[in-house]
Amino acid sequence: MSQPDIVVKPRDVMPEGARTLPARYYTDPSLFRAEMDRLFGRMWVCAGRSEQAGRPGQFFVREINGRNIVVTRSASGTLRAFHNVCRHRGTRICSEEVGQFAGSIRCPYHAWTYDLDGRLIGAPHMEEVPHFDKAEYPLLAVDADEWDGHVFVTLRDNPPPLRAQLGDLCAKFRDWRMQDLRLGRRIVYDVRANWKLIIQNYNECLHCPNLHPALNKLSHYLSGENEPLRPTYMGGRMDLRPGVETLSMDGSCPRAFLPGLSPEDRRRVYYYAIFPNMLLSLHPDYMLVHSLWPMAPDRTVNICEWHFQPSELARERFNPSDCVDFWDLTNRQDWHVCELSQAGISSPAYVPGPYSNREDLLYAFDRFIVEFHQRSSA
């Protein structure tokens, strides 16, 4: 079958006997625990967008490995993240998901009050307690940083810089000016599958002709090229078919392209999985971000957001349904097979199966996971 409109680059041949992981990597609570403690508990985790903590006191909360974290911005404009735990009797301070502090952070129980840098500035009746010193009871801080409008936090003490984790991605995607984009739509999915199955699903398009006929019509599954696996991310690009302008229901693009993209990048979609929890999909005219929130070995909350140029969002008739509907359809197809995979792998009848050459990133990711667990249990 000739496919004159695409360039198929053959993939390297997989190592002899390359197979999928044993079931325990997807079902064993102790391996899940280790991944939460040592991957999610130590790496920089994609938490949200700068615009959600854009003004002083504006906040959002995230739960990472059992820690509820408030992300906000100080009076001087610095991004801050704190454990959402009052230093008095341990009360969770914010019970809303998003909101705005009125200049300070006040516990609803006994009104202990902290400034936006986390310093304790009010503690009723504690002045009667000898030797009590407010300076000893700040909110416990968590490191937070930003990359082109993406907020990352890490639970690790004295973490390496975020830039070290992101590596070449900072330079690679500079032209997209992600910091200028703003949220247009958000859908939260609750997927009954291990988080790694979602990453693996994201990193191959071998399933596209069968599962995503609409996607395959716009972007041929054999097109594009993958980068070799990097220590903290993996990804590649796929090409739009001739006549297709972006990934949308009909392939047309009702929006302006992102400024600064090269003519080549206007014809491509980039798909990068940034470990442990971010899936970044850059289109010629919009940015799609999935963040993964593992809840259990067999359950992952998946927050999917579409981001656009402010000039597009400001249009009177702005309507992103062409690309939101397209990806919502594709997402649902993907989560469904991820759930089927979780179900099948959970059967004692499951045995690891053979990878094709088109599943090179999965095999590489599996090695990363196996080596992580070997280090983790060493």
- Residue ranges in contact with a copy of itself by CB under 8 A: 10, 13-14, 16, 20, 23, 66-68, 83-93, 95, 108-111, 124-126, 128-132, 137, 140, 206-207, 209-211, 336-337, 340-341, 343-358
Q: At what angle do helices 360-376 and 195-202 cross, to 10 degrees?
A: 150
Residue 130 CA to residue 209 CA, distance in Å, equals 72
Which segments within the chain are labelled E, that is strand?
Answer: 45-49, 58-64, 67-73, 79-83, 98-100, 104-106, 113-115, 120-122, 141-147, 150-154, 182-191, 225-226, 233-239, 268-274, 278-282, 287-296, 299-308
Residue whose CB is less far from a copy of itself, 22 or 149: 22
Peptide bond preceding 276: is omega within 30 degrees of 0, i.e. cis?
Answer: yes
The minimum distance between CB 216 and a copy of itself, in angstroms, equals 12
- Judge residue 192's burial from the number of C-beta atoms within 10 Å of its C-beta, 0-12 exposed, 13-18 middle, 19 or more buried: middle
The minimum distance between CB 36 and a copy of itself, in angstroms, equals 11
Residue whose CB is less far from a copy of itself, 140 or 295: 140
Question: What token pair was written down for 373?
Answer: 């667990």
Residue whose CB is less far from a copy of itself, 76 or 347: 347
Residue whose CB is less far from a copy of itself, 350 or 368: 350
The minimum distance between CB 74 and a copy of itself, in angstroms, equals 20
The minimum distance between CB 22 and a copy of itself, in angstroms, equals 10
The minimum distance between CB 161 and a copy of itself, in angstroms, equals 23
The minimum distance between CB 352 and a copy of itself, in angstroms, equals 8
Residue whose CB is less far from a copy of itself, 99 or 352: 352
Residue whose CB is less far from a copy of itself, 86 or 191: 86
What is the DSSP secondary-structure string of 79-123?
Answer: EEEEES--TTT------SSEEE-SSEEE-TTT--EEETT--EEE-
